[in-house]
Amino acid sequence: MDSFSGKLAVVTGGGSGMGQELVRQLAAQGCSVAACDIDTGAVAATAAATAAGAPAGVLVTGHGCDVSDEAQVLRFRDEVVAQHGRDHVNLVFSNAGIGGGGSFVSDSREEWERTFATDWWGVYYCARAFVPLLIKSDEGVLVNTSSVNGLWASLGPGSPQTAYAAAKFAVRGFTEALIEDLRTNAPHVAVALVLPGHVGTNIITNSQRAHGHPTAQTMSQSDLDEARAKMAGAGLDVADRTDDDLRQMIAQMAAAFKEKAPVSAAQAATTILDAVRAGTWRILIGKDAVWIDERVRADPGGAYDYTGFFSTVREDLAPPAEEPPAPVTPEA
């Protein structure tokens, strides 16, 4: 797809982060966009601000949608067709995602399944809803966002990542399987797989909101005790920290995930769009994503031997240690 001008794109998770940047950059390049997000206020604001600066003839619409609910995805599809007045779409970016449910053993089943449903079923439901509309176009591209956790199912010692990683592995496998399926049955439709490393987004804050978790300042004593245990398990020295210190640390870590990321959301979106134009199906974002991909493929049997693999990841990729040191978090 040499140009996005005159095309119609669908973007999930368009209210913030990479999704928001995809909306902005697509519209700036002459592409009409239908964006959805579970945060209806955020996606409405994104759509309005983007539309105000878009070229003539570009329509940008915002829609509330929880992609883990198929009925809402189908409603979103129908709104796109009605509001944009087209019977097809050219681009679908299944970008929405949340974290949570790290431990299959100790985290709640509700949180685990909520994370998996958003990150996997959301991609599946959007494919079911929108691939028929891609097929109706002259040329189409389905772009599914996985993660480096779709290559490596861990965040390192003491930080299990089971729900998110399981979903992102599913997205990766599904997307790769679609290459031959579309080549055989709809050769004018391509598929691309996005594998971001640490990108500066609000995924931590958005995930807390999606799971109904309190903010750092509104955490109860039991919430703080649980957080303290998890942080200690991840190697952080929090034994002598007061509750107020802990609240401040949690808030700072969430902010630092976005502010100190080696790749911004805008840079990630540019990389994705450049790759789609070039016809690249496998899109690695960030030095950490490239490094982890190479290392896992070179030594899959040693991927979870932290004395070798993870210690080298920290040495090569981590920013200078601060007090307290934060673990490397290769998550989109």
- Please provide the average confidence, as pLDDT, over all residues in the chain: 90
Q: Kindly report the pTM of this predicted structure.
A: 0.86
Contact 20, 103 (CB under 8 A): no
Alpha helix stretches (DSSP H) within the chain = 17-28, 40-52, 70-84, 109-116, 122-135, 162-185, 203-210, 221-233, 243-259, 265-278, 287-298, 309-317
Work out the percent of the chain whose per-residue pLDDT is above 90.
Answer: 70
Average pLDDT over residues 50-77: 98
Work out the percent of the chain whose per-residue pLDDT is above 70.
Answer: 92
The pLDDT of residue 331 is 44
- The token pair at 212 is 């109904």
Average pLDDT over residues 303-327: 56
CA-to-CA distance for 80 and 77, rounded, in angstroms?
Answer: 5
The pLDDT of residue 218 is 82
pLDDT of 14 higher than 60: yes
Amino acid identity for residue 300 in this structure: P
* Closest CA relative to residue 331, chosen from 125, 119, 135: 119
Query: What does the CA dihedral 295, 272, 118, 327 come to, rounded to 10 degrees?
Result: 40
* Closest CA relative to residue 267, chosen from 201, 327, 171: 201
Average pLDDT over residues 170-176: 98
Q: In this structure, which CATH number among 2.40.50.180, 3.40.50.720, 1.10.260.40, 3.90.730.10 belongs to the domain 8-214+264-317?
A: 3.40.50.720
* Closest CA relative to residue 73, chosen from 161, 13, 152: 13
Amino acid identity for residue 137 in this structure: S
* Model confidence band, residue 227 (pLDDT cutoffs 50, 70, 90): confident
What tens digit of pLDDT does each residue of 262-289 get? 999 999 999 999 999 999 999 999 999 9
Contact 238, 323 (CB under 8 A): no
pLDDT of 325 higher than 80: no
* Beta carbons within 8 Å of 108's beta carbon, 6+ residues apart: 101
Q: Per-residue b/e over 306-320, b at no fewer than 16 CB within 10 Å?
A: beebbeebeeebeee
* Model confidence band, residue 327 (pLDDT cutoffs 50, 70, 90): very low
Residue 278's CB is within 10 A of a number of other CB atoms, namely: 10
Residue 128: beta bridge partners? none
Q: Which of 74-88, 226-240, 272-286 is the least confident region?
A: 226-240
What tens digit of pLDDT does each residue of 235-252 get? 788 888 888 888 888 887
Q: Is 182 exposed, middle or buried (0-12, 13-18, 19+ CB in 10 A)?
A: buried
